[in-house]
Structure 1
Amino acid sequence: MTNHVSTLNVLLYGEPIATITNVGNDRTLFAFMDSYINDESRPVLGLGFKDALGGLLTNFKPTQTKLTPFFSNLLPEETMRNYLAERAGVNPAREFFLLWVLGQDLAGAITVEPADGEALPPNVLQDIEDETKIELPMRFSLAGVQLKFSAVQQANGGLTIPATGKGGSWIVKLPSSRFDAVPENEYSMMELARKLGMDVPETQLLPINQIANIPDGIGKFGRSFKNAQAFVIKRFDRADNQTVHIEDFAQVFGVYPQDKYKKASMRNIAQVIGIEGQDEDIAEFTRRLVFNTLIGNADMHLKNWSVIYKDKRTASIAPAYDFVSTIPYIPDDSASLKVSRSKKFSDFTLDELSHLAAKAMLPEKLVLDTAKQTVAGFHELWQKEKAHLPLTKSMIEAIEKHLRSIPLR
């Protein structure tokens, strides 16, 4: 471990607002700058930085090895983290230095850069056998587990993954090495959601051979990979070459990524949306909750819900993402989070939604009417569209079997 003191500046919309300082031995301390604290019209970094009266929290405990949950959630997880850390020459557990390397293309309007423009300390490279790997680190971070990269649109309609990873207004999600046809599944579910009126970014399925610069070491998915398709989605945190700030609900609740299936419920998410948003946000939340229950998505954890700050200060529900029917891969009666009292799909009833509305202080009629409309609309749309979507027969059968188990009609 190093005793060298290093400081990272945290920028929001390009303006410095805070620092993260490694005071030695991988102990880090986050602090807002006075200029941000004293700015009454300051843009919001995150809901978790508000105190009980809506003011700004300014006292934070130091953390060891990990960053605070807000910044830890900006970093990729598992396979993606290990790949990018190895390429950059950073121990993946040392989050301060991983953020240092990846901080130029984070989700939302945050960038992170060394305060003095210094290079990574040499002993950060401990446990890395081949130090030549640090020559061209990829400098983007798309949080999450799946192999995904930020990409730039080509004139011919294809995409290019920038060599440094910096920049790009599209996200490319590659096929899974564990499960078949995940891109086709996600594309289908997102298109169904769009047709049901949900806020869904532009998406497409793109043959792998139309994506340039897929990094070395990625794509070892067997012989079928070269003929496979990737799921491509427009980044909603990028618009007209500007950044748009977002945060996921693990950040909102101050929960580390490994606890994204714990410590909160759909009811907790709903309560925040009810406080911060408008009736349309509540309706959109309800549509998505019902829809993901109907398709059998058991992976709608805290990181798969976000808020967006379109005016830099007001939070509303962010566009939809990561809608996948997981039932064909892992048959399960449990969602990732409790709705209000239960996480079982087979307990998803109007009474459960009434309980959620009451406890989250949402208008019950709005929640129940939206739920009924979504269920009716889904069943009609599914019968019309299922044969035209790029879903396998076994996927369709798994979803239909699941639908019969949902009591909400």
Structure 2
Amino acid sequence: MIKLNVWLVIDPHDAIRAGELIVSDPDAQGRLLGQFKYTPEYLASPNAFALDPVNLPLQQDVFDANRPHSGVHGVFEDSLPDDWGRRILVRQYNLGRNQQRVPHLLRVLGGNAMGALRYSEGSATPQALPLIESRQLEKIELLSRKFETDPLAVDEDMALLFQAASSPGGARPKALVHDECRAYLAKFASVKDTFDVVSLEVATMHLARRAGIVAAEVRCLPCGSRKILLVDRFDLGPITQKRHHCISMQSLLRADGYYNLAYADIAGILRMISANPVEDQRNLFKQMIFNILIGNTDDHLKNFSMLNDGEGWKLSPAYDLVPNIGLNSEHVLRIGLDNRVPDRQTLIKEAKRFGLKQARAVEDELDALVDAVSTWHEVFNLFDVPEEDILVIGRDIEHRLAKIKR
């Protein structure tokens, strides 16, 4: 059995023990039974809010996780990285197969999760390791390639990679760094890449901001013959480093394994918990249209999050926006009743499910997004996307633009 204290650290100088996780040892079928309960001191705090406002309301009950694969509610698994960071954690702590389950990973992650949650077995507040300075990026990038090529490599320098790269999510190589002003998620090219994914993502994120999407700020740094994408961490505030508690839409919608959900289901969550549902639904609608136009078909629920800094829930800035070259042409999330590229009339009808009822305003929104995305070739050239990648991307984007143009 594993028992973990869950700490909420919105202000780094004012941590509070929010609750306790208890997860049983696996049964004969490998299933984990887990529970969560808020602490009395957290429930009594005037600043308390539900860590998961849908599945963990702020009350004294014991909440069963009902997630036998992980043993914990989705909001806590959100603290863990996905493929890349989990492999780093396993290698860093030399975890055997039976120690690679979610509760074990949360235990070793401790105070180093992104967002505002931390985990400990004892009563002391878990401390986060200091962030690596951005001047170390070239060395970290080199180590990430070495780790991808040979995960069992023994090298004293690997400690630097373990410190920087054990908490970010996603499947691709990345690390957490900072300079004197901001904290960043650094994203590296993979040794498996067949396209210049770093250039594609920085160009697409800039195109999104040009199109009026509320997207995370990014910039591209040269690194020898390679490139590094720096993404501003929206889970941290500037200067004060005030933290924002994060929860994915996958957790809010309890969407484990295969799911058949739509952008409109995300809009339903926004209406339920957002402090500003009108604005958040409009921003989600715009992001949906942008994803359709650029061919970002990997629009799964982990790529949509809510943030809370103690002052209410809001939709996070858009992130992980990139065309999915040569992959499935169908979107993970449905648009209306279908996962395929919709036409203009479908989107106009669908807008009502996002609280957008004035047809003229929806038409204007579509026109503005189409006009902005139509400049994709200019933006991609500006950020040095290779011409051979542009040729492949262009056919799909132009097809998508044609379906939604007036």
TM-score range for the pair, normalised by the shorter chain length: 0.7 to 0.9
The reply on whether 1:341 has 2:344 as its aligned counterpart is no
1:78/1:145 contact within 8 Å kept: yes
Aligned residue identity for 1:289 = M
Equivalence map 1:7-406=2 (5 Å)? 7-13=4-10, 14-25=15-26, 27-39=33-45, 41-49=47-55, 56=59, 58-62=61-65, 64=68, 66=70, 67-90=72-95, 91=97, 93-116=100-123, 138=163, 140-153=166-179, 169-179=183-193, 180-208=195-223, 227-239=225-237, 240=239, 241-256=241-256, 258-259=257-258, 262-275=259-272, 276=274, 277-310=276-309, 312-327=310-325, 330-345=326-341, 348-359=342-353, 361-363=355-357, 365=359, 366-379=361-374, 381-382=375-376, 384-406=378-400
Show CA shifts across 1:110-161 (max 9, x none): 1222234699xxxxxxxxx99999x966484222222211112279xxxxxx
Show CA shifts across 1:6-31 (max 9, x none): 33333342211111124445643211
Show CA shifts across 1:156-200 (max 9, x none): xxxxxxxxxxxx821111102322211111000011111222223
1:142/1:148 contact within 8 Å kept: yes
**Aligned-residue offset at 1:361:** 4.9
1:89/1:131 contact within 8 Å kept: no
Aligned residue identity for 2:245 = H
* Identity level (%): 19
Show CA shifts across 1:301-337 (max 9, x none): 1011112224x2422221121011112xx24321121
| Structural RMSD (CA) | 3.1
2:270/2:281 contact within 8 Å kept: yes
Q: Give ranges in structure 1 of 5+ residues lacking alignment.
A: 120-128, 156-167, 210-226
Query: CA 1:384–1:144 in 2, change beyond 3 Å: closer, same or farther?
Result: closer
Query: CA 1:48–1:367 in 2, change beyond 3 Å: closer, same or farther?
Result: farther
Query: CA 1:238–1:23 in 2, change beyond 3 Å: closer, same or farther?
Result: same
2:21/2:34 contact within 8 Å kept: yes
Write the distance in 2 (CA, Å) between the matches of 1:30 and 1:22: 9
1:28/1:65 contact within 8 Å kept: no
Query: CA 1:57–1:195 in 2, change beyond 3 Å: closer, same or farther?
Result: farther
Write the distance in 2 (CA, Å) between the matches of 1:394 and 1:273: 40
Query: CA 1:118–1:392 in 2, change beyond 3 Å: closer, same or farther?
Result: closer
**Aligned-residue offset at 1:402:** 1.0
2:51/2:75 contact within 8 Å kept: no
1:102/1:138 contact within 8 Å kept: no
**Aligned-residue offset at 1:243:** 0.9
Write the distance in 2 (CA, Å) between the matches of 1:341 and 1:102: 40
**Aligned-residue offset at 1:105:** 2.4
Q: Give ranges in structure 2 of 5+ residues lacking alignment.
A: 27-31, 127-151
Task: Tell me the SS of whatever aligns to 1:242.
Answer: coil
Task: Tell me the SS of whatever aligns to 1:403.
Answer: helix
Show CA shifts across 1:323-363 (max 9, x none): 11112xx2432112111211112xx1233223433445543
**Aligned-residue offset at 1:61:** 1.6
Q: TM-score, normalised by structure 1?
A: 0.77
